[in-house]
Every structure is written in C-alpha cells, then in structure tokens.
Structure 1
C-alpha cells in the first residue's frame, strides 16, 4: 500500500478546472482589450473590436457557470477549521518548506481556502456587474449612474481576480506536485502526508475500510 498513489482529482474535476482556466484566459484577454486603448491590440485575437465586444460577455457567463461546477464539488472542503488559524500563524515555516510543528490540515490549506472564496466573490461581482453593462441585452434597464458604478466594480473585481489567479499559478508551481495533481489526478502518499495530513489520514482510512476482507457468513446447524 505504501507504493500506491492517491487520487486527488477525478477526470471530471480536472476537465472542469481546465475549461474554467481556458475561459478565464480568453475572457481576461478580451476584457483587457476593452479596458484600455493601449491594450486594444489584444482584440485581434478574437477577430477585432466588434467581435471582442460580442464574445467577451458570453465567455464570462460560461466561465461563471463552469466555475459553479467547481464550487459545488469543493465548497465543503474549503470550510475553515480550527487548525487553519494555527497554520496561518506558522506560515513562515511553510514558506521555508519546514512544516515540522505545523498543524495538520485537510484537503486544502488556509491559503487555498482564502483563494477559493475570493474567486467566488469576484466571479459573482463580475457576473452581476457584467449583466448591468451588457449593452445588447440589459443596460437599457439601468440608469447611467448604476452603469458607471457597475463598470467600476467590474474592473476592480477583474483586477483582483487576475492577481488571485497569478498567486494561484505561482503557488501551484512553488509546491512541487500540485500542477501534476491537476494534470494526472494523483499524488504520492509522501506528498499528501506532508502537505495535507488530515486529508491523507481520511483517504487512507477509507482505503483500509474498502480493502478490509469481509467475514464469510456461516449457517448454523
């Protein structure tokens, strides 16, 4: 059993994640093209300015819907527990890769949980503010003041989202094995035990329970 790897993400979960990542890249680039004239050249990636304006909101809505798939799958694992607060107090040890004495954590560390809820908040703000400023369908129902505030919130949420994703990518590269987990779906037992000990204990206990031999039923008499 010690040589086995542990399933961290199923194929459906990985596909969901990468579809969101692709749509984030497309929506982000098209949004930047519309954000400032200096970045308008990015619209060439989508067939020019008119097509960029048409496609951007549809890509944003699809990204949000697919992101909800991740929320439904992982929201329980992103609840904060008592050990998370202690983990944050000793984050200097984690940064140095010296995790001895750091409280064990579940499937996600507190940093990942903060990122999860930040992404969800940003996605919600982007969705609702985006609907307000979507000229082809909804903006006619709102006053100019509301539209201006929506544009400001949309830009702010987009900025926070981009920064959060940059942190997410950096952390995934920094913690060796994280990117591989989202590509192949499995992690080594040593990796799971070191970085997510509570989750490791739960998974290995479930495996032991599943692999336990059943006692044959004998008839009396």
Structure 2
C-alpha cells in the first residue's frame, strides 16, 4: 500500500472478474438467440444455430465455475451488518450523492451485497435448471414436466441476471473510480474514505470514527 492509494482488487481477482464478464456476455447472447426466433440472428456470432446450441451450456458452466472464484474471494465481505440496514433506509441520499448523510459501510455497501447474493442465486438456478434441460447429456434422466418447469425457471433466472448486471454496470459507471478499481486494482484514499469508510479504517488501521470530524481537545477550567 502506497501513501496515496489503496489496493482494492488483486490482479487475480481482476482477471477472474473480467473472464466472468466475457463469458456472461457470450452465454447471454447465445441464450437470447435460443430464447426467441426474433433473436435467432445472434447465432451468427457463434457459427450458426447448431453451434450456438452446443456452445451455450459449456459457456454457462465455465461462467459458473469462474464465478465461484469471485464467491470464494468476496463472500465474507458481503455479509450484512447493522449499518447496511440504515444505509438502505437512506438510499435516497445515496442516489443524490449525499453520502455524508448515510452510515459508513465496509468494503461493499448494502446495494452491492444484495447484488452479490442475487447473482449467486441466479447462477445456481441457471446451473441446475441448465443441467436438467441439457438434452445432449442429462435431460433424458428427467420427466417432461420437470424439463418444462426448468426451462421456465432458466429463462426467469437469466432475465433477472441480465437486469442485475445492467444495474451493476450502471452503478460502476455512476460511482467515479469504481471501474478504474477493477481495471487497475487501486483506489485513492479519499475515494475509499468517502464510499467505504469502515473498510478504509480497517485497511489503514485508522481508529478514528469515519465521517466524524476531529475536534480539538480542550481542558476544563
């Protein structure tokens, strides 16, 4: 850690994140191509319909496996604390960039934590339902009713996942410095103290209460 910046993400974590992102777009586009005839033209990106159907589940499994790397790295930082509930109650202040009026948070705020667990649930749903409807390998072991319900749940989980990623991208662009952190790994101390004061205090071993200005000590009498 230098005097001016703080390491937020290691090179391995950043590589893991961007590999998941690439596979998400590939699996998402191929899934949309198979979801509705109006989007079948997207199969041209993968060599046609048959190749799209072959590649889609493999890309999905690879995305899930790599996503587990992010889970193992960040799950501890995504447990909710008391300040998170207060943060959510004051989300209106966050939306107008008035973070001085909200409780300090750790490495991730409540919104990021909700996104993390939503992504994990969607990934699990996509994995298990995808295995059920994977005709080349597993669907023969399941009844038609389960397959139909799995197809519906698979589409629903995919829809929620896509919406969640859109929110994730928007929030990353909205909070200046977030994208740079995932590109280069480092954030300024001012950024860390403003957006994640508890994490900043833990990393820098700064025992002062975040967001509380220091007052001079005066003697009585």
TM-score using structure 1 length: 0.92
CA contact (8 A) 1:83 1:103 kept: yes
Q: Does 1:78 align with 2:64?
A: no
Alignment of 1:65-144 (within 5 A): 65-144=65-144
- Deviation of residue 156 (structure 1)? 0.2
1:152–1:3: structure 2 CA closer, same or farther, 3 Å change rule?
A: same
Output the CA distance in 1 between the equivalents of 2:53 and 2:143.
21
- Deviation of residue 181 (structure 1)? 0.2
Output the CA distance in 2 between the equivalents of 1:123 and 1:162.
11
The unaligned stretches of length 5 or more in structure 1 are: 207-221
Which residue does the alignment assign to 2:194? 194
Which residue does the alignment assign to 2:27? 27
Deviation string 1:155-183 (CA, Å, 9 cap, x unpaired) is 00000000000000000000000000000
- Deviation of residue 85 (structure 1)? 0.4
For the residue of structure 2 that corresponds to 1:100, the secondary structure is: helix
Output the CA distance in 2 between the equivalents of 1:23 and 1:157.
16
The unaligned stretches of length 5 or more in structure 2 are: 207-221
For the residue of structure 1 that corresponds to 2:187, the secondary structure is: strand
Output the CA distance in 1 between the equivalents of 2:18 and 2:103.
31
- Deviation of residue 91 (structure 1)? 1.0
The alignment of Structure 1 onto Structure 2 pairs a total of residues equal to 206
Runs of 4+ in 1 over 4 A off after TM superposition: none
- Deviation of residue 92 (structure 1)? 1.0
Which residue does the alignment assign to 1:56? 56
- Deviation of residue 132 (structure 1)? 0.3
Q: Which moved more, 1:64-73 or 1:2-11?
A: 2-11
Deviation string 1:8-38 (CA, Å, 9 cap, x unpaired) is 0000000000000000000000000000000
Deviation string 1:76-100 (CA, Å, 9 cap, x unpaired) is 0000000000111111111111111
For the residue of structure 2 that corresponds to 1:137, the secondary structure is: coil
For the residue of structure 2 that corresponds to 1:163, the secondary structure is: helix
Output the CA distance in 2 between the equivalents of 1:43 and 1:25.
13
CA contact (8 A) 1:6 1:187 kept: yes
Output the CA distance in 2 between the equivalents of 1:109 and 1:13.
19
Alignment of 1:112-191 (within 5 A): 112-191=112-191
Output the CA distance in 2 between the equivalents of 1:100 and 1:142.
54
Output the CA distance in 1 between the equivalents of 2:182 and 2:45.
27
For the residue of structure 1 that corresponds to 2:6, the secondary structure is: strand
Q: Which moved more, 1:3-12 or 1:128-137?
A: 3-12
For the residue of structure 1 that corresponds to 2:194, the secondary structure is: helix
Which residue does the alignment assign to 1:42? 42
Which residue does the alignment assign to 2:217? none
TM-score using structure 2 length: 0.92
CA contact (8 A) 1:2 1:189 kept: no
